[in-house]
Amino acid sequence: MATPTVTLAQRPRTASAKRVKPAIKPAPAGSRYPQALLHHIVAPSLRVPEAAAATVFAAARQRGPIARDVIAQVTGLSIATVNRQVTALLDAGVLRERADLAVSGAIGRPRVPVEVNHEPFLTLGIHIGARVTSIVATDLFGRTLDVVETPTPRGPQAAALTAIAGSARRYLSRWHRRRPLWVGVATGGVVDSATGYLDHPRLGWSDAPVGPVLAEALGLPVSVASHVDAMAGAELLLGVRRRPTKAATSLYVYARETVGYALSIGGQVHSPASGPGTIAGLPAFSELLGGTGQLESTVSDEAVLSAARKAQIVPAEGPASTVTAVLRAARQGNEAAAALVAERARVLGEAVALLRDMLNPDDLVVGGQAFTEYPEGMSIVESAFAARSALPPRDIRVTTFGNRIQEAGAGIVSLGGLYADPIGGMRRALASRRPEVSA
């Protein structure tokens, strides 16, 4: 099946403001995307699951191979409930029994361990960045199987979306032994998660039908989320060491080409109906880095690179004119380069302190290459944070995923629906048509 040519369609709307998430309505006559296709769009689930089947599946993911009676102990569910859910999860294909690991002398299936049946399946994550788009294959544990990166297409959004969909279809053609189940997209801008449409001013996209285009090209359920929400979701579902309490709050702060934040409350990423808030315009001043007096224009990779070019740390253009080259120069003892990255760390630390003082979360996490690609600068971030914050001392935790946070975010968007409802999610995924791709 050839990759479709994208024609932008009128999106389903309510009479309310553009950025309020509407319920999906029947497509207008002549619309590019029929109602049947829009049913493939599923709002992302960035929360700790609570349903019985999801809780049992989570125990298997986190502790498996695991026996049914142990699942009952760690989840607090009755053994009868666990047995019913395990049977349903085995029938759905997401768990498998390991009779070879049964305790010697034990009688009955409750002592036969079960584990995640991860080998037949994958999910597809797509992170659409300002400069680079990553396509990620993830297994049911949330582990990255493979990732490829390509420059984010420029030009008209219709052509850009066609190119991304085509790249995703070609990528799936490589996976002959695993069935794709779901597509998750993490991207900047304002996402309408109910319909999969996107406004992304930095890319010049307006009402871009990201979800429908990918659903049509790949024939799979598609979820689309703000990239910072997705990264916070990865921390919540894949990176936490213990289940959050109902009242627990966590603040996630991101910085690379863009800056952003997300707040998790009681085990769920808070995703406002009108789109994520922004910290791009927070006040930030640095003579060394320049900028417009706002946070994003001061600490972005582009700001650091522009300042490095002016200081002749790197050439004005060419393959050696990169942020990576600036960081390398700083590590090699170039004082001007070290001063630039130290200044970015200072500004970031003060911005994180401002956010912490406003929201006062229980847990504070930072991620993005502005933090992780130069770990030597974290001590400066922490010192600036401590000096600027008016509240008692608080530790800053660096993301579990390091420089892989973008792929982890896209991966969890592709897995969230299966984690929240593994039985219903598998029914939805397996009922969809398998994409007919060619290399």
Average pLDDT on 347-352 reads: 98
Residue-level pLDDT at 241? 59
| Domain over 52-103+111-116 is classified CATH 1.10.10.10 | yes
Instruction: Give 231's pLDDT tier (boundaries 50, 70, 90).
Output: very high
Residue-level pLDDT at 161? 97
Mean pLDDT of the chain: 88
Average pLDDT on 257-267 reads: 93
| Domain over 244-399 is classified CATH 1.10.600.10 | no
pLDDT in tens, 276-323: 788 999 999 999 998 789 999 999 999 999 999 999 999 999 999 999
Percent of the chain predicted with pLDDT > 70 = 87
Instruction: Give 238's pLDDT tier (boundaries 50, 70, 90).
Output: very high
| pLDDT surpassing 80 at residue 52 | yes
DSSP character string of 225-258: EEHHHHHHHHIIIII-SSPPPTT-EEEEEEESSS
Cα 401–chain centre separation: 11
| pLDDT surpassing 80 at residue 337 | yes
pTM for the predicted model, two decimal places: 0.87
Radius of gyration of the CA atoms of the chain, in A: 23
More confident residue, 18 or 261: 261
Residue-level pLDDT at 349? 98
pLDDT in tens, 83-117: 999 999 999 999 999 988 877 655 555 578 999 99
Query: Cα dist. 157→128, 163, 270, 328, 404 in Å?
Result: 13, 10, 28, 35, 27
Asked if the domains 119-233+405-424 and 244-399 are classified in one and the same CATH topology, the answer is yes
Residue-level pLDDT at 186? 97
Residue-level pLDDT at 24? 35
What is 119-233+405-424's CATH number, 3.30.420.40, 3.40.50.2000, 3.30.70.3420, 3.90.550.10?
3.30.420.40
* DSSP-based three-state secondary structure for 72: helix
pLDDT in tens, 164-212: 999 999 999 999 999 999 999 999 988 999 999 999 998 999 999 999 9
Residue-level pLDDT at 317? 92
| pLDDT surpassing 80 at residue 409 | yes
pLDDT in tens, 117-135: 999 999 999 999 988 999 9
Query: Cα dist. 3→101, 137, 170, 182, 259 in Å?
Result: 46, 20, 10, 18, 33
Residue-level pLDDT at 10? 44
Between CA 117 and CA 125 the distance in angstroms is 20
Average pLDDT on 139-153 reads: 96
Q: Please report, as a single letter, which amino acid is at residue 9.
A: A
What are the structural domain ranges in the chain?
52-103+111-116, 119-233+405-424, 244-399
Instruction: Give 438's pLDDT tier (boundaries 50, 70, 90).
Output: very low
Return the ∠ at Cα 305 (arms to 302 and 308), rounded to 5°.
150
| pLDDT surpassing 80 at residue 38 | no
Residue-level pLDDT at 436? 54
Q: Among 7-11, 275-279, 416-420, name the one with the lowest average pLDDT.
A: 7-11
Residue-level pLDDT at 104? 64
Percent of the chain predicted with pLDDT > 90 = 78
Average pLDDT on 74-84 reads: 95
